[in-house]
Structure 1
Amino acid sequence: MTERRVVITGLEVLAPGGLGREGFWRLISEGRTATRGITFFDPSPFRSRVAAEADFCGLDHGLSPQEVRRMDRAAQFAVVTARSAVADSGAELAALAPHRIGVVVGSAVGATMGLDEEYRVVSDGGRLDLVDHRYAVPHLYDYLAPSSFAAEVAWAVGAEGPATVVSTGCTSGIDAVGYGVELVREGTVDVMVAGAADAPISPITMACFDAIKATTPRYDDPEHASRPFDGTRNGFVLGEGSAFFVLEEWEHAVRRGAHVYAEIAGYATRSNAYHMTGLRRDGAEMAEAIRVALAEARTNPEDIDYVNAHGSGTRQNDRHETAAFKKSLGSHAYRTPVSSIKSMVGHSLGAIGSIEIAACALAMQHDVVPPTANLHTPDPECDLDYVPLTAREQPVGSVLTVGSGFGGFQSAMVLTTARRSTV
């Protein structure tokens, strides 16, 4: 039996510094950064005071006042980008059997901003031990339950098939798309609206990362605070955003004449069962995820034209990834450009994996490798080609993108052009 191939036919991104896929691509291909001092709240009590904030208002993106009132900021991101991805695909979802359309949403921290704000309201700024529920928004329960994200997107696109939330920390965005691919591949659905959204820039999130010193304290120079693979890096910059895709079976897409961004040819995820935040220096778990994703894609390491790194900007992550690329790609790792877009749009936790998939698909469309911004002083232990500062024009036919998350999650995905014949 011929295996069902899965392709991306619709794509939308909402990210700091570049709302929409065109603005996003301009930002990352030009090597510009969207990191700045936090404006959403007073950051002065915190160790880290920088973030990559999106200039977003739901009303400006087609949401009604009632939708804005009902949904947390991250849910608004998800609905806006999912609707736009469907429009970009040209798919007439209303003409399809609704139970053959599914939704999967990745999110690491759910409605963090809404819960944080509502706690301040119902506790009168933290002064009340027994909170007063009368001051809460009517849909506060939806903030508590991350499943509301999948419900909102399903309602927005008319999907009556599987509707799921995937929450695996910082790999949620890549794992959600990987799960969507599997549902299309096994024939459960014909179309999957898949992606991720997170809006974590809130006092409680900053306090959590301050406690473990994971975020950068470099708030005197926000534009250059995110420095993956640079010897002067000292933590990641928190971000926010969303990216969604329309995933279709290849023949289904061809029959309707759809534009195909890329084929998702391989995906794998592993856990290190080792430490909540620590990583082994040899990168064995990530290397294993990469090996399995390459095998599923029937792609050799030598075929990879570009690696989109997790590249968070912490020393242990950058060195762990470097070791993983060497272990999985062998000598080809030294000939393959690697870059981190977190240097430009920050780390949006569960959303970033999907945003990075979008970056990979757009890199394939344009035959351009986006750069690693702010990389001026390479770490000697990170000795691969990290495409410093300036984008590189070259053919990009096969891409590897990876994710690494607290809890020991390691995920990898291979995207290829959809021109190769079915094996």
Structure 2
Amino acid sequence: MERVVITGMGLISPLGNEVESFWNQLVRGESGISRIDTFDTSRHKTQIAGIVRNFDPDAHFGRKEARRMDRFVQFAVAAAEQAVSDSGLVLDQIDRERMGVYVGSGIGGIQTLLEQKDILNSRGPERVSPTLVPMMISNMAAAMISIRFGALGPTLSPVTACSIGNTAIGEAMRVIRLGLADVIIAGGSEAAVNEISLASFSNATALSTRNEEPARASRPFDTERDGFVMAEGAGIVVLESLSHAIRRNARIHAEVIGYGSSSDAYHIVATHPEGAGALQAMKLALADAKLAPEQVDVISAHATSTDIGDKSETKAIKKLFGEHAYRIPVTANKSMTGHMLGAAGGVEAIALVKSLQEGIIPPTINLEQPDPECDLDYVPNTAREVKARIGLSNSFGFGGHNAVIVLKAYSS
């Protein structure tokens, strides 16, 4: 089977709109959470989110093209452009029938739907845009990336809620391993910070209401956590077979060596309290990578800053790794980015690649009073220099979807 490597990375996030600025802020322990100023939150219990700033779609795409894309598609295409540029791919020199796209979104173009519903109510059916449906459907991020780069190979839009990024990377890895594609652009995108999503999550008591201290609101594993913080963005990587990357003398960021997926089969929103599905996915990922638990150097946790979620993930890690669990640094990027939903896995994969490259583990910020049931080494508040070769990244989603990937520092 083919080995699979990451040759390109791109992202749009509340911590910056390209990889280096994002990484620098992550390592410094800076928060991307702020008060929402994109719509009126005066009647909302939660008034904070991880908002993408300084992203001008009209300047990036041109006004006409930008208006044909929902915000989640704009993010995905912009991140994919970065990733392809970073990869050094020369499109005219590769077989684009063997180039695919695996990019998904959990919620898709909900903002476009809301805007067109308002037009329907106020101006009548004659004024509803004929592009409503193609703008809002979740597969349009993958479709637009495919169109952008002339990718004629396997193209898929996985919808596994907040585990989408890892699902996309893992499933794409399998396709390349089997020799069915040479290159796949993979990841996730989300732009769902709006009135109705905020109201729904808030009424489900899932969101933090620490409105006066936005930067301190997302606090995984801390006793004072009171829910997750919604965020938006996109995280995209270019995956290639090692043989293809070597043939074109590509720079290789890391290798994808394992993938595991499972279902909790438990509840539509609540994670299994004992972390059964998370444990199964991690086991499968390590088995796929042909690794013993003791060989893992760092874990990028899903860690959304919810009571049951943080506890169940900690339980799953301890069940799988035993005593070694207490020796593995576990980092929670969402303490700084917020929860980017379908974009989270892709962005966190990029952060993990940077950790393997730079030998630095980003901190879990706001961890001031650790939950007694969350007693692992979460790299509290300050980044740590650690020489790491193998990292495991967890992503879990509503409905019980679990997806775990294993990354390795590349060596020939």
Name the CA distance, whole Å, in 2 between partners of 1:324 and 1:58.
Answer: 41
Work out whether residues 368 and 391 of structure 1, in 8 Å CA contact, stay in contact via their aligned partners in 2: yes
The match for 1:399 among 370, 391, 404 is: 391
1:248-289 superposed Cα distances (whole Å, 9 cap, x missing partner)? 001111121111111110001100111112223321211111
The match for 2:162 among 166, 170, 173 is: 170
Gaps of 5+ in 2: none
* 2:304 is equivalent to residue 312 of structure 1: yes
1:125-156 superposed Cα distances (whole Å, 9 cap, x missing partner)? xxxxxx72333344212133222222111011
Work out whether residues 104 and 138 of structure 2, in 8 Å CA contact, stay in contact via their aligned partners in 1: no
* 2:30 is equivalent to residue 38 of structure 1: no
Following superposition, the deviation at residue 17 of structure 1 comes to: 2.5
Following superposition, the deviation at residue 188 of structure 1 comes to: 1.2
* 2:43 is equivalent to residue 49 of structure 1: no
Name the CA distance, whole Å, in 1 between partners of 2:149 and 2:79.
Answer: 11
Name the CA distance, whole Å, in 2 between partners of 1:196 and 1:282.
Answer: 27
Name the CA distance, whole Å, in 2 between partners of 1:320 and 1:208.
Answer: 24
Name the CA distance, whole Å, in 2 between partners of 1:101 and 1:33.
Answer: 36
Work out whether residues 102 and 187 of structure 2, in 8 Å CA contact, stay in contact via their aligned partners in 1: yes
Correspondence 1:284-299 to 2 at 5 A: 284-299=276-291
Partner of 1:411: 403
Partner of 1:127: none
Give the SS at the match of 1:291.
helix
The match for 1:105 among 103, 107, 114 is: 103
* 2:202 is equivalent to residue 206 of structure 1: no
Name the CA distance, whole Å, in 2 between partners of 1:329 and 1:240.
Answer: 32
Partner of 1:353: 345
Name the CA distance, whole Å, in 2 between partners of 1:46 and 1:238.
Answer: 13
Name the CA distance, whole Å, in 2 between partners of 1:370 and 1:299.
Answer: 24
Work out whether residues 70 and 136 of structure 2, in 8 Å CA contact, stay in contact via their aligned partners in 1: no
Following superposition, the deviation at residue 211 of structure 1 comes to: 2.2
Q: Which moved more, 1:28-37 or 1:134-143?
A: 134-143
* 2:180 is equivalent to residue 181 of structure 1: no
| Alignment: residue pair count | 411
Work out whether residues 105 and 197 of structure 1, in 8 Å CA contact, stay in contact via their aligned partners in 2: yes
Correspondence 1:96-175 to 2 at 5 A: 96-124=94-122, 132-175=124-167
Name the CA distance, whole Å, in 2 between partners of 1:27 and 1:121.
Answer: 40
The match for 1:68 among 63, 66, 69 is: 66
Following superposition, the deviation at residue 174 of structure 1 comes to: 0.9
Q: Which moved more, 1:274-283 or 1:242-251?
A: 274-283
Name the CA distance, whole Å, in 2 between partners of 1:120 and 1:229.
Answer: 40
Give the SS at the match of 1:382.
coil
Work out whether residues 236 and 346 of structure 1, in 8 Å CA contact, stay in contact via their aligned partners in 2: yes
Moved over 4 A (4+): none
Partner of 2:58: 59
Work out whether residues 197 and 241 of structure 1, in 8 Å CA contact, stay in contact via their aligned partners in 2: yes
1:212-251 superposed Cα distances (whole Å, 9 cap, x missing partner)? 1111111111111111111100000000000111100011
Give the SS at the match of 2:112.
helix
Work out whether residues 40 and 201 of structure 1, in 8 Å CA contact, stay in contact via their aligned partners in 2: no
1:54 partner letter:
V
Partner of 1:24: 22
Give the SS at the match of 1:238.
coil
Following superposition, the deviation at residue 418 of structure 1 comes to: 2.1
What is the percent sequence identity of the aligned residues?
40
Name the CA distance, whole Å, in 2 between partners of 1:59 and 1:337.
Answer: 41
Name the CA distance, whole Å, in 2 between partners of 1:417 and 1:362.
Answer: 10
Work out whether residues 106 and 138 of structure 2, in 8 Å CA contact, stay in contact via their aligned partners in 1: no
Partner of 2:93: 95
Gaps of 5+ in 1: 125-130
TM-score by length of 1: 0.95
Name the CA distance, whole Å, in 1 between partners of 2:42 and 2:272.
Answer: 34
1:306-348 superposed Cα distances (whole Å, 9 cap, x missing partner)? 1000010000000000001001111111000101111111111
Work out whether residues 116 and 203 of structure 1, in 8 Å CA contact, stay in contact via their aligned partners in 2: no
Give the SS at the match of 1:411.
strand
Give the SS at the match of 2:304.
coil
Name the CA distance, whole Å, in 2 between partners of 1:110 and 1:9.
Answer: 27
The match for 2:334 among 320, 336, 342 is: 342
